[in-house]
Chains A and B, each alone.
Chain A
């Protein structure tokens, strides 16, 4: 069975500081994909970053980077130089080897303080 765990219900970060949002996963699939999405109060889910299970290097997308530790089954999101617009819910998600079903964590609410 696939499972995503996000243990931080809420996080605060000072503007311009970096923050790490934790995500651990469980799967028996040899191949899988890990995703992070941002959900502002408007409700739309916005894709941030993707990491494939066989990717050798950690993924980066602008201010977002994914700290992927396969042996520990963790895929933490690092946001550098936080901005007020980063305040939102952040979801870690996984897609298994087959099918197009995504499994989501419970999310972390990030608040950026001026």
Chain B
């Protein structure tokens, strides 16, 4: 079974631009979560989608948004990029309806904002 796939692996953008990151979950998984990882703040929860609906949301500004498609693939969008958005963005998937399941993570997208 293929794992969680995130594309692209690396991104370089400039302030004010927007960016879209993609995540394909493990086949059969309907929940996709996004996390931001920075050296200063660690791993912080952005949001979770389950069956195309946002089920949980972390404490991030509205510039961060996401969506999930009918095949469970998810995209995350960040508009009006700021220098502080430079981070490793990790996507994780689970079945989503089985209690405390472990998260299966992708390799992440390293975003650098210049």
A71-113 residues with Cβ-Cβ distance < 8 A to B are 91, 93, 95, 99-107
Chain A CB count within 10 A is highest, among B48, B101, B103, for B103
Q: Is A50's CB within 8 Å of the partner chain B?
A: yes
| Separation of A35 and B48 alpha carbons in the complex (Å) | 18
Give the size category of A's interface with B: 20 to 34
User: Are B100 and A50 interface neighbours, CB within 8 A?
Assistant: yes
Interface string of B70-96 (1 = CB under 8 A from A): 000000000000000000101010101
**Chain A residues near B50 (CB, 8 Å)?**
100
Interface residues of A, dominant DSSP: strand
Number of interface residues of B (CB under 8 A): 27
What residues of chain B lie closer than 8 Å to A106, measured between beta carbons?
A: 42
Q: How far is B58's CA from A102's CA once the two chains are assembled, in angstroms?
A: 10
- B98-114 interface with A by 8 A CB criterion: 99-108, 110
Q: B96 near A100 (CB under 8 angstroms)?
A: yes
Asked if B31 is at the interface of the complex by the 8 Å CB criterion, the answer is yes
C-alpha gap A31/B92 in the complex (Å): 22
Contacts A35-B102, A47-B103; is A99 near B55 (CB within 8 Å)?
yes
CB distance from B57 to the nearest CB of A (A): 9
Chain A residues near B (Cβ < 8 Å):
32-33, 35, 37, 42-47, 50, 52, 91, 93, 95, 99-107
